Amino acid sequence: MSKTNLKPIILVIIIGIILAGLILNLEKTSFSEEAEHNASGTDIGDDDMKDEIGPKGGKIFTTGNFSAEVTIFEKGVEPQFRLYLYENGKPIPPTDAKAAITLSRLGRPAQLFSFNPLGDYLLGDQIVEEPHSFDAAIAVEWRGKVFHWGYSQIEARIEMTEDTLASTGIQIQTAGPATLKPKVQLPGIIVFNHHNIVRVVPRAPGIVIEVPRHLGEHVEEGTVLAVVESQLLADLRSQYLAAQKRLALANANFRREKLLWEEKITAKQEYLTTQQLQSEAEIALELSAAKLRAIGERPETTSQLKNLTRYEIRSPISGLITTKSIARGQVIKEDAEIFTVVDTSTMYAELTVYPRDLDIIRLGQKAAIKSTATNIEGTGKITYITAMLNAQTRTAMARITLDNTSGLWRDGMFVNGAVNTEEIEVPVAVTMDALQTLFDWTVVFVRYGNYFEARPLELGRNDGEMVEVLDGLSAGEQYAAGNSFAVKAELGKSGAEHDH
């Protein structure tokens, strides 16, 4: 192999050795007090090393008559390294040199940037990810010599001791796998349980003489709702009482005739006749009793009544009186709906399901229901989904049964429903309350020892409590979760800037 072909290989080996040495050196100094509190950084280089600003506004490093200016350019493009080269302060073509930069970040492997000439500068081959907080090792080969420098740049990083964490209430969690339970938000309304609605009718016509219960009252099963004078009921009761007396008389005649027949005093025909009359009396009594039972009366109490026309209309269930269509003096028919009583121990939440969600809403899915106007909350399962869409709104309805023994849910109350549609396993997730906005980034503050550094994230799906992290954070890294805003506040007090 010729000497000409060996030169590039030897150059790469030399640069690699130098960069490795610089990385080790920078790692030892990156957590020093000076590095943490001096945002402008510390240059590491050969003789004549100075911390200066170059013509392009970047950091310029000089050894002898050769200088390199490092900038992070991000106007209209993703952040990128640009290197400008100078000899005795005058620009030189970027094609005359080769360069590499290695970045070391908290909790991240070293990142090596190669450079290619473009225009009047050398352009890095990768994006410089935010935040621009790192230790940089620079190596440039020019005219057969290798020049190396280094600097530290701190951004969006703050030191907080354990005592500070305790006093500010900052909670630490570890990023890792999670099961997301995405929710579909649906609007809805609370309505009565249709199976618990009873419409009360009198069953017998008459004139209303008492209405002791009123609209909105809660009544127990058997409570008297109204009292009616009913001639029809009086007739039925009279028929029952008469049938009772006829049966008693028939029983007495039968016993007498039976005794006389057994003693052969009367003929058998007379005995059989009284037996038939007894059976007919029993049938008549049972028929009159059945008529009373048909309108809700207890025949056995009829003989105790002083007023045969008095008809007490009672509540068939325990519940709330929601409608009342009766007043004293009113003549009512047997089929008139005079009260509606509703058992409110359970209620329905009827949620509006839009066409886009029809394929993911299923029977049995759990849903969290919350009032839009109050803090009332409840949970239940979807028990019914309409098979047809509403002709006007083109939506379906999903029904959730809610426990309402507390009586807090009311008919007509507007609610929002969060329906759990599926469970998704993700490799890395953080809590939603850990997310903060900083420099137009969505970040979490990642913990390294006593230091917290903002880490911009690329986020995926969430369920309102946890959010999937697609990029920017690895499983096992600790971050500020609860009260993470306190870290942002401390960072603001420290005067951290987004300045390159």
3-state SS string for the chain: CCHHHHHHHHHHHHHHHHHHHHHHHHHHHCCCHHHHHCCCCCCECCCCCCCEECCCCCEEEEECCEEEEEEEECCCCCCEEEEEEEECCEECCHHHEEEEEEEECCCCCCEEEEEEEECCEEEEEEECCCCCCEEEEEEEEECCEEEEEEEEECCCEEECCHHHHHHHCCCEEECEEEEECCEEEEEEEEEECHHHEEEECCCCCEEEEECCCCCCCEECCCCEEEEEECHHHHHHHHHHHHHHHHHHHHHHHHHHHHHHHHCCCCCHHHHHHHHHHHHHHHHHHHHHHHHHHHCCCCHHHHHHCCCCCEEEEECCCCEEEEEECCCCCCEECCCCCCEEEECCCEEEEEEEECHHHCCCCCCCCEEEEEECCCCCEEEEEEEEECCCCCCCCCCEEEEEEEECCCCCCCCCCEEEEEEECCCEEEEEEEEHHHCEEECCEEEEEEEECCEEEEEECEEEEECCCEEEEEECCCCCCEEECCCCHHHHHHHHHCCCCCCC
- Residue 470's domain spans which residues? 159-180+425-493
- pLDDT tens, position by position, 277-291: 889 989 999 998 898
Does a structural domain hold residue 281?
A: yes
Among the candidates 154, 172, 204, a domain finishes at 154
Least confident segment among 57-66, 200-209, 291-300, 341-350? 291-300
Among the candidates 377, 403, 421, a domain finishes at 421
Shared domain for 138 and 100, answered yes or no, is yes
Whether the per-residue pLDDT at 356 is higher than 50: the answer is: yes
Shared domain for 270 and 303, answered yes or no, is yes
Shared domain for 211 and 332, answered yes or no, is yes
Shared domain for 57 and 150, answered yes or no, is yes
Shared domain for 316 and 291, answered yes or no, is no
Least confident segment among 260-269, 354-363, 392-401, 444-453? 260-269
- pLDDT tens, position by position, 2-37: 444 434 434 444 444 444 444 434 333 333 333 333
In the chain, the number of structural domains is 4
Does a structural domain hold residue 65?
A: yes
Shared domain for 82 and 106, answered yes or no, is yes
Shared domain for 96 and 198, answered yes or no, is no
Which CATH number is 448's domain given?
2.40.420.20
- pLDDT tens, position by position, 67-106: 999 999 999 999 999 999 999 999 999 999 999 999 999 8
- pLDDT tens, position by position, 195-252: 999 999 999 999 999 999 999 999 999 999 999 999 988 888 888 888 888 988 989 8
Predicted TM-score (pTM) of the model is: 0.58
